[in-house]
Amino acid sequence: MGIYSGIFNEQIVRKYSDRELFTRYIKRVAPFRKNIIRISLFVLISTIAEIIIPLLVGFAIDELSKVNRDIILASSAGLGYLILFLVTWIMFFLQRREIGRFAPFFLDNLRMDIFDKLQEQDMSFFDKYESGRLNSRVSNDALDFGNTTILITDTVANFLISILTFGILMWLNSTLALITLASVPIIILVMFSLRRIARIVSRAYRKSIGNVNAAMVEAIEGIHVCKSYGQEATVSEQFGKTNKDYFKTGFRLTAYTHMWRPLLETISSITLIIIIYFGGQFALVGIANPGTIFMFVLYLQRFFRPIMVVALFFPQLSSGMAAYERILDILDSEPLVKQNSQAFEIDKLEGEICFQNVDFCYRDGEWVFRDLNLQIKKGEKLAIVGHTGAGKSSLAKLLSRYYEFQGGTIKIDGIDIRDIRIDSYRRNLGIVHQDVFLFSGTIEENIRYGRQDASEEDLWNAIRAVHAEELIEYLPEGLQTQIGERGKGLSAGQKQLISFARALLMDPKILILDEATSSVDAYTEAIIQEALDVLLADRTSIIIAHRLSTILNADRIIVMEHGKIIEEGTHKSLLEKGGKYGKLYKKYFEHQSLDWQPSHMIQSIKSSER
């Protein structure tokens, strides 16, 4: 149990085979094939130069060991060595420069694909994933997978070096080359025996990074609650456990990654000792000269070094592919909210709404609505009341197309909302939430958010309509005042006024107020109430009510309970009926009336009159 207990629900499930991951990886790097061809060309030239260098060294040694040595030939070999060394340096520089061009673009495209896919998702997707974990996939996982791309180019180069080097070893001395080759199956066996472990550990490590990010985001966003209850030490202790888990998985991954090197170096060292022993014997009996044996030892080091790099590639590749697997989990996610393939653009809606036999649940079997029917006339002001969990906000979310309903239809002006393109449909909606979200930037940028091309006149008309001009006048830089993340620097009432202006600037035909005045002070509420007549005029309005003032002037009130409409009518008719609304009124709304007095005060007044 603990504040972060929910973040560990992510299961490590293997969804993709190695073959599928590799195939999709090839498709992803295909647009960068020109860069890869250039990198391969530089690697090939560098490899040939590295192969020739030991030959020149061996030739120089053999020449200098002769009685009638030719200094010019030995010097030419030395000059060739310097030239080839310079070539390898230049090729390395060009290779790295090309990787420097290729890798950032590859990573940029990958991150944009992830980000664009996130934008496509409906709200059910974000109910499933914490923001910190999604941030980890966009940043950490994308970076690790991008590094794998660079790793693969290096591995191809090293594999090529090993193949060519073995050819040289066979040419120098086939017997010693076959002795060397005998060690390769042992290296491959070690490599594949730890590969599966590396994959499992890598996935656990990726999960722990997501847990740390999720815990950090949750702690920061909930810092006011933490401080209100004096739980700083507890939160710190719980984050410490999450962080320690990250440390343990990271240590385990590092240990498994680097335990390969000592094993491989031991195998190569034993092979080197055997080669030196037999090579020495061959030199003593005259089968091979010292220069040839020296060249063989030099090439032997070049043979094993790439093999060790290739072997170390697999645990690092496992980490990259584990990251890619998590990325594909997002890229392959399909939003549940879908529009028909023949969906069309719509300019302006009239605002007549009809829910017909609508079934909806957030989770399978836990129905919020079953066979819900509701008709809302064009221009009608509909207030919705009910206890928490009655389905008020769910109704607004379905109308906003945040979630997909499982049965029935929702029609606007007789058109199924799934037949309308989502972007054009939402341009006809104005939504003001209880928890207002403002972006970092200026006041003007936030008001223009849904209609950036609005004229200056339209902008100020919206501001004046909600009486936000007084707020803006008192700000240090007016409309150009910078606000922080989530509107930091503004009060709840000020943020609400800005959100009203933002919605009004869109000039929507359908307006949804989701308890939009519940968090404002009495003064700001009075200002908003003056603006509501303008705000709601000539619009179909759905008001999820938390304050009496927001429902008194509604054309119709519906009472919801357990996803069903149990009562409907005007404020007066529902009070006269004395049903559920009457009880809700006495419990939640009556005390907000200007002429309301507590019952004990009424009794006191009656007693004094007697």
pLDDT tens for residues 560-586? 988 899 999 888 888 888 888 888 777
173, amino acid identity: N
Spatial separation of the C-alpha atoms in residues 550 and 517, rounded to whole Å: 8
Alpha-helical (H) ranges within 173-231 are 174-181, 184-193, 195-221, 223-228
Per DSSP, the chain holds a count of helices (H) and strands (E) of: 23, 12
Reading phi first (left if > 0) and then psi (alpha if -120 to 50, else beta), residue 371 is in: left
Q: Which pair of structure tokens corresponds to residue 14?
A: 């293997």
Mean pLDDT, to the nearest integer, of 102-107? 78
User: Mean of the pLDDT values across residues 537-556?
Assistant: 78
Percent of the chain with pLDDT over 90: 7
pLDDT, tens digit, 9 for 90 and up, residues 179-223 = 888 877 777 777 666 666 666 776 777 677 767 767 766 676 666
Instruction: Report, as an integer, the average pLDDT of 21-45.
Output: 81
Q: Which two tokens stand for residue 80?
A: 């060739």
| Per-residue pLDDT reduced to its tens digit, 431-477 | 887 777 788 788 888 888 888 888 888 888 888 888 788 778 877 78
CA 499, CA 436: separation in Å to the nearest integer? Answer: 7
Torsion region of 257: left, alpha or beta (phi above 0 gives left; psi -120 to 50 gives alpha): alpha
What pLDDT shows up at residue 599?
47
In terms of pLDDT, which residue wins out, 280 or 458? 458
Structure tokens at 201: 């550990």
Closest CA to 314 of 166, 158, 161: 158
Alpha carbon 496 to its chain centroid, in Å, reads 29
What does residue 511 show for φ and ψ, rounded to 5 degrees? Answer: -120, 130
- Split at pLDDT 50, 70, 90, the class of 370 is very high
Q: Looking at per-residue confidence, does 546 or 392 come out higher?
A: 392
The pTM assigned to this predicted structure is 0.69
Question: What's the pLDDT score for residue 9?
Answer: 46
Statement: residue 141 has pLDDT above 60: yes
Tell me which of 278 and 460 has the higher pLDDT: 460
Which residues, other chains included, contact 462 with Cβ-Cβ below 8 Å and sequence gap of 6+? 447, 454, 501, 502, 504, 505
Q: What is the pLDDT of residue 354?
A: 94
Which domains can be identified in the chain, with CATH numbers? 16-331 (1.20.1560.10), 353-428+508-603 (3.40.50.300)
In three-state form (DSSP H/G/I as H, E/B as E, the rest C), the secondary structure along 395-432 is HHHHHCCCCCCCEEEEEECCEEHHHECHHHHHCCEEEE
| 62 and 291 Cβ atoms separated by less than 8 Å | yes
How far apart are the C-alpha atoms of 82 and 368, rounded to whole Å?
Answer: 78
pLDDT for 596 equals 44
Q: What pLDDT score was predicted for residue 1?
A: 37
On the question of pLDDT at 356 being above 90, the answer is yes
- Average confidence score pLDDT of the chain: 77
Taking 70 as the threshold, does the pLDDT of residue 40 lie above it?
yes
